[in-house]
Amino acid sequence: MKNLKDADRSPSDSPQKAHSMGGPLDAAPSAAGSGPASLHDATPESTAAFHSVGFTVSTIGYAVARDFRQILAPLELEPREFALLRAVAASEGQSQHAIGDRLQIPPSRMVAFVDALEARSLIERRHNPEDRRTRALHLTGAGRELIDRAFALAVGHEQRLCGDLSDAEREQLLALLRRVAAQLGLAPGVHAALLDSVVADG
């Protein structure tokens, strides 16, 4: 893949959750190879598991999430922490509430996430001079260095994932997957596993 500028898919915070997305055609692979093009013609005997969108997306998601957690591990960074640091880097100086809203994190959970990163001196809260009731989020020097290192790893991960695709093919794949995500009611740029972790931790 050529000239990848960013890795715009946030990886799953929980591989097990990513793996649980399977669809109704998810069964053991058969020797029949690819099944019929139309689901109207599909039968248990004619349709292999790998001809299912649900199965394919699920198994890819599991592998991608597992590998991403592994590459972040030396940085002592979890995928959801990566997502929050990246959001702050992209919107530095915005309020904690605004960034939490964009990531669909409830205020109480956002406070806990930011507290944890602030305790590691990666993020700092500053009073907004225009509204002292709000706290703006900024990366510290250590936070900036860490997200730069983590993002470089994320780009390399994306390049390996899409290594056999041209830039045009990658964009086409993203467009199709975003249509599927919209069909599932998923918000653009918000990882479903992050929302699940918020519910589980809440």
pLDDT 10s digits, 113-162: 999 999 999 999 998 777 777 889 999 999 999 999 999 999 999 999 99
User: So what's the pLDDT on residue 46?
Assistant: 63
Above 60 in pLDDT, residue 29? no
Q: Domain locations in the chain?
A: 46-201
Of 72 and 2, the structure prediction assigns the larger pLDDT to 72
User: pTM for the full model?
Assistant: 0.72
Residue 32 neighbours by CB under 8 Å, 6+ apart: 45, 46, 47, 48
Instruction: Taking the CA atoms of 143, 146, 149 and 152 in sequence, report the sign of the dihedral they define.
Output: negative
Q: Determine whether 130 is exposed, middle or buried from the number of CB atoms within 10 Å of its CB (0-12, 13-18, 19+).
A: exposed
- Top pLDDT among 81 and 52 is at 81
Work out the mean pLDDT of the chain and round it to a whole number. Answer: 80
Q: Which fold has domain 46-201?
A: Arc Repressor Mutant, subunit A (1.10.10)
- 4-9 mean pLDDT: 47
Task: Give the single-character DSSP code of 47.
Answer: -
| Nearest Cα to Cα of residue 58 among 104, 103, 12 | 12
